[in-house]
């Protein structure tokens, strides 16, 4: 396609809406808006009704009619022209214009075509309607960027980077338009789950419905090239299906269950059993005793298999998906592909996915952690060396050098693939994370068992700091434990940093583990903050819960511990959770504490793994 042809296409596209703006009765395609002056929908208290124009979803269904979708998108563009005093509506106009073009072209769109849509749309809004407010701050810079000549990957990174800059300024919708142009997966950013929403769910049902509709159209646009749905979006489609069922649209709700099930079965290892139960229950209710479709039988088979062969890994998956599904292809790195065989997914998190693996040379079982490369990746230089490494790789190399601590996971080697960093880690077998261990013991560990576990975690934290590494996210979920031997290992250095004596002014760890000095002053020192997290961990081990529920309680520092705790255990927790960071104990103070010096009876503790729980054989 020549540039002249592209300009002609976009000109015709814009002219179409200019003409409709003059001649069409906007109320014929509205979604229940009253007067423009009120700006309030008469359907705010309902999610769906017969009066609201039908959305032709589910869009990934074989029943979907493309012409109905195109009419819906065109109507959304026209609706936007009714409320152009609103800057958000202006952005919606650009969004729908872009999606209209992508869907018309079946996903085969050049970036420069999107630039022309932005330029033409901006000119149309400014000259024809004279209602453009602050769109020049994002629209023109993005359009100019799209016109630059750069390799495809670099161009995409630059677009995503601009979106990140907009997001940092609070321009969520503008950031989303950048991500849409870059074809980013939903859920790849915390704020990029529902188009036009900043990570929080809309308060009004009508706004929620419209956000889901916008996002589903984007999911469809992505599927034109990938052939797949968006894993992180399935929970919202489930919400939509439930609301449709409540409103009496049972057939459409069942169609949504069908497409949700198809996506779930594609990523089944990443989906919680609770999510399977939810979709199965809704589907059964909608069927009303009719014959079950094949996809429902497959969901039930998956659930029954899990209940028979539980592996304690369910807590590692979110309801439907916590992050965008990582399409990991080992063949992208020949050396890695020759040396290792990749197995099932073990878990996932904000920093990557972890797979079971086998080293081909000797059959050693390993864990393979895969980090998708991103323009925002940070690199650091290990003290004494000259080359920069990804933060997590560098920190793991530092803590893995001999002599190694058995309570810190060891990095065996790593690979730099075109799109991923691949880390080969030791894999303790059997194991589960410490939160799961406590849960399956009813969150009730004796001081004897807690002491055995906590001593090892202190050793791990001390080892990291001695190696110049600040873990910054010590919590039960980041500690693996062998339930047969009680040996623990600290994992996941994705929030870590180099340890320094200076004050820190940024924090990457889990919010509930923030020390009071960070909550109050947004600054902290590394080791005292680590000791604070150790105090929280010990409290969790012996009490079964955390002492603080919010920032106010963290600052107040009031501790309410179980009455049957020993005085020495109570004292150690209180010392570690000292509000004044200067008065918290050192690692040596903790190791020398009287609680660790207590003599206990020689009591053996045995655990046995059963399908759905850990059963304690001998009580303590």
Domains and CATH numbers, the chain: 264-316 (no CATH), 330-426 (3.30.200.20), 433-616 (1.10.510.10)
Per-residue model confidence as pLDDT tens digits over 250-273? 999 999 999 999 988 877 766 778
Minimum mean pLDDT range among 18-27, 253-262, 349-358, 403-412: 18-27
- Averaged pLDDT of the chain: 83
Q: Are 352 and 493 in contact (CB under 8 A)?
A: no
When pLDDT is averaged across residues 591-615 and rounded to a whole number, the result is 54
Res. 611 pLDDT band, cuts 50 70 90: very low
Residue 133 has pLDDT above 60, yes or no: no
> Is 473 a known active-site residue?
yes
Position 304 scores a pLDDT of 85
Residue 16 has pLDDT above 60, yes or no: no
Per-residue model confidence as pLDDT tens digits over 478-494? 999 999 999 999 999 99
Cα–Cα distances in Å, from 452 out to 307, 459, 476, 554, 597?
31, 11, 15, 27, 12
What the block records as the tokens of 230 is: 């968006």
User: Is 120 annotated in some ligand binding site?
Assistant: no
User: CA-to-CA distance for 590 and 74, rounded, in angstroms?
Assistant: 66
Res. 51 pLDDT band, cuts 50 70 90: low
Position 45 scores a pLDDT of 52
Per-residue model confidence as pLDDT tens digits over 361-395? 888 899 999 988 877 778 999 988 888 999 999 99
How many CB atoms lie under 10 A from the CB of residue 245? 19
List the end-to-end C-alpha distance of the chain, in Å, as a whole number. Answer: 76
Residue 519 has pLDDT above 70, yes or no: yes
What the block records as the tokens of 1 is: 């396609």
Per-residue model confidence as pLDDT tens digits over 291-312? 999 999 999 988 887 776 554 3
Per-residue model confidence as pLDDT tens digits over 54-74? 899 999 999 999 999 999 999
Which of residues 153 and 129 earns the better pLDDT score?
153
User: CA-to-CA distance for 21 and 15, rounded, in angstroms?
Assistant: 10
Which of residues 600 and 551 earns the better pLDDT score?
551
Minimum mean pLDDT range among 39-43, 317-321, 586-590: 39-43
Cα–Cα distances in Å, from 488 out to 266, 451, 582?
33, 12, 29
User: CA-to-CA distance for 115 and 160, rounded, in angstroms?
Assistant: 15
When pLDDT is averaged across residues 139-154 and rounded to a whole number, the result is 90
What the block records as the tokens of 67 is: 């012409």
Handedness of CA 420, 424, 429, 432 (dihedral sign): negative
Q: Are 356 and 346 in contact (CB under 8 A)?
A: yes
Minimum mean pLDDT range among 28-32, 178-182, 502-506: 28-32
Give DSSP secondary structure letters for 547-595.
Answer: S-SSHHHHHH------TTS-HHHHHHHHHHT-SSGGGSPPHHHHHTSHH
Element (H, E) at 241: helix 234-246
Element (H, E) at 394: helix 391-400
Share of the chain above pLDDT 90, in %: 56
What the block records as the tokens of 447 is: 């001081």
Per-residue model confidence as pLDDT tens digits over 89-110? 889 999 999 999 999 999 999 9
Position 43 scores a pLDDT of 43
Which of residues 113 and 336 earns the better pLDDT score?
113
Per-residue model confidence as pLDDT tens digits over 439-477? 999 998 999 999 999 999 999 999 999 999 999 999 999
Residue 136 has pLDDT above 90, yes or no: no
Among the options 255, 473, 492, 497, which is catalytic?
473
Per-residue model confidence as pLDDT tens digits over 314-369? 444 445 543 333 456 665 666 787 788 887 788 776 567 898 888 888 888 999 99
Position 339 scores a pLDDT of 86
Q: Which residues contact 374 (CB under 8 A, 6 or more apart)?
A: 160
Q: Are 464 and 490 in contact (CB under 8 A)?
A: yes
Q: Which residue has the tokens 């036009």?
A: 196
Which of residues 516 and 11 earns the better pLDDT score?
516
When pLDDT is averaged across residues 129-147 and rounded to a whole number, the result is 79
Per-residue model confidence as pLDDT tens digits over 185-243? 888 787 899 999 987 888 889 999 999 999 999 999 999 988 888 888 999 999 999 99
């Amino acid at each position: 396609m020549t540039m002249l042809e592209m300009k002609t296409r976009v000109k015709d596209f814009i002219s179409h809406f200019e003409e409709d703006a003059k001649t069409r009765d906007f109320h014929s395609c509205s979604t229940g808006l009253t007067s423009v002056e009120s700006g309030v929908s008469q359907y705010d208290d309902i999610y769906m009704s017969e009066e609201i124009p039908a959305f032709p979803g589910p869009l990934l269904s074989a029943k979907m009619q493309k012409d109905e979708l195109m009419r819906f998108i065109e109507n959304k563009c026209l609706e936007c022209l009714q409320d152009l005093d609103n800057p958000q509506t202006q952005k919606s106009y650009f969004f729908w214009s872009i999606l209209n073009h992508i869907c018309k072209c079946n996903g085969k769109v050049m970036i420069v075509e999107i630039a022309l849509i932005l330029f033409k749309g901006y000119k149309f809004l400014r000259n024809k309607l004279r209602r453009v407010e602050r769109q020049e701050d994002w629209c023109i810079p993005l359009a100019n960027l799209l016109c630059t000549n750069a390799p495809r990957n670099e161009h995409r990174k630059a677009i995503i980077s601009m979106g990140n800059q907009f997001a940092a300024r609070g321009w969520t919708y503008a950031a989303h338009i950048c991500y849409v142009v870059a074809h980013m997966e939903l859920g790849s950013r915390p704020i990029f789950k529902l188009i036009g929403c900043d990570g929080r769910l809309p308060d009004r049902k009508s706004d929620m419905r419209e956000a889901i509709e916008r996002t589903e159209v984007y999911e469809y646009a992505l599927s034109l090239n990938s052939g797949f749905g968006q894993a992180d979006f399935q929970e919202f489609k489930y919400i939509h299906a439930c609301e449709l069922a409540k409103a009496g649209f049972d057939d459409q709700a069942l169609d949504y269950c069908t497409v949700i099930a198809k996506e779930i079965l594609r990523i089944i290892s990443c989906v919680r059993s609770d999510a399977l139960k939810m979709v199965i229950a809704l589907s059964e209710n909608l069927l009303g005793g009719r014959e079950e479709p094949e996809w429902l039988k497959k969901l039930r088979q998956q659930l029954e298999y899990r209940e028979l062969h539980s592996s304690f890994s369910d807590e590692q998956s979110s309801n439907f998906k916590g992050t965008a599904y990582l399409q990991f292809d080992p063949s992208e790195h020949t050396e890695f592909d020759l040396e290792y065989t990749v197995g099932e997914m073990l878990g996932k998190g904000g920093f990557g996915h972890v797979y079971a693996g086998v080293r081909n040379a000797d059959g050693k079982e390993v864990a393979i952690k895969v980090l998708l490369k991103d323009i925002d990746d940070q690199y650091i230089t290990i003290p004494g060396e000259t080359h920069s490494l990804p933060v997590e790789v560098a920190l793991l190399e530092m803590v893995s050098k001999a002599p190694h601590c058995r309570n810190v996971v060891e990095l065996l080697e790593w690979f730099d693939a075109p799109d991923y960093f691949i880390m080969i880690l030791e894999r303790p077998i059997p194991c589960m994370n410490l939160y799961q261990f406590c849960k399956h013991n009813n969150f009730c560990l004796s001081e004897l068992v807690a002491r055995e576990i906590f001593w090892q975690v202190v050793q791990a934290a001390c080892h990291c700091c001695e190696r110049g590494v600040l873990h910054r996210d010590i919590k039960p979920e980041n500690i693996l434990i062998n339930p047969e031997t009680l040996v623990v290992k600290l994992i996941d250095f994705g929030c870590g940093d180099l340890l320094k004596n200076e004050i820190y002014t940024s924090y990457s760890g889990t919010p509930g583990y923030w020390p009071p000095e960070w909550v109050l002053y947004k600054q902290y020192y590394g080791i005292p903050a680590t000791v604070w997290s150790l105090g929280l961990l010990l409290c969790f081990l012996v009490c079964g819960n955390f002492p603080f529920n919010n920032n106010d309680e963290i600052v107040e520092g009031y501790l309410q511990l179980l009455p049957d705790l020993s005085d020495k255990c109570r004292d150690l927790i209180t010392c570690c959770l000292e509000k004044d960071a200067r008065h918290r104990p050192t690692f040596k103070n903790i190791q020398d504490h009287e609680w660790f010096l207590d003599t206990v009876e020689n009591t053996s503790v045995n655990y046995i793994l059963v399908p759905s729980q850990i059963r304690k054989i001998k009580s303590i």
